[in-house]
Amino acid sequence: MAEINGLTTLDKLVRKVLFKKREGNENYLRYLSVLTEGLQRLNYHYVGHVKTDTLSVDTDTNTVDYPDDYVNYVSLSVADDMGKIWTFTKDEKIFLT
């Protein structure tokens, strides 16, 4: 059935490129990587899409794993027990060792 909503997947785009270039699946991952990076750059530089996500802190290491689609952050914040959001700011007077 034909797509009528205008949306597609990266998989479909890669397979279409492979078909049009008459290439086999040996280049699938390379094209997928190029399309993924291009989409990330397009979203970041031109579309202005901002995604908000809640991340869990690993209490053993006090670290956070970034999501796979992480490009850059605009701000970091934490919610307290009362639901108030505290935004972290950069303090140039802090000496990092």
Strand partners, 87: 77
In a domain, 40, yes or no: yes
> What is the count of structural domains for the chain?
1
In a domain, 16, yes or no: yes
Note down the domain range covering 42.
10-87
In a domain, 5, yes or no: no
pLDDT in tens, 38-61: 887 877 666 665 677 788 889 999
In a domain, 27, yes or no: yes
In a domain, 2, yes or no: no
* Per-residue pLDDT at 47: 65
Residue 4 has pLDDT above 70, yes or no: no
pLDDT in tens, 22-37: 999 999 999 999 988 8
Indicate the SS3 state at residue 41.
helix
| Longest CA–CA separation in the chain, Å | 61
Question: Hey, how many other C-beta atoms are within 10 angstroms of the C-beta on 34?
Answer: 13
Rounded CA-CA distance 77/88 in Å is 5
Residues 6 or more apart whose Cβ sits within 8 Å of residue 53: 67
In a domain, 96, yes or no: no
Residue 74 has pLDDT above 80, yes or no: no
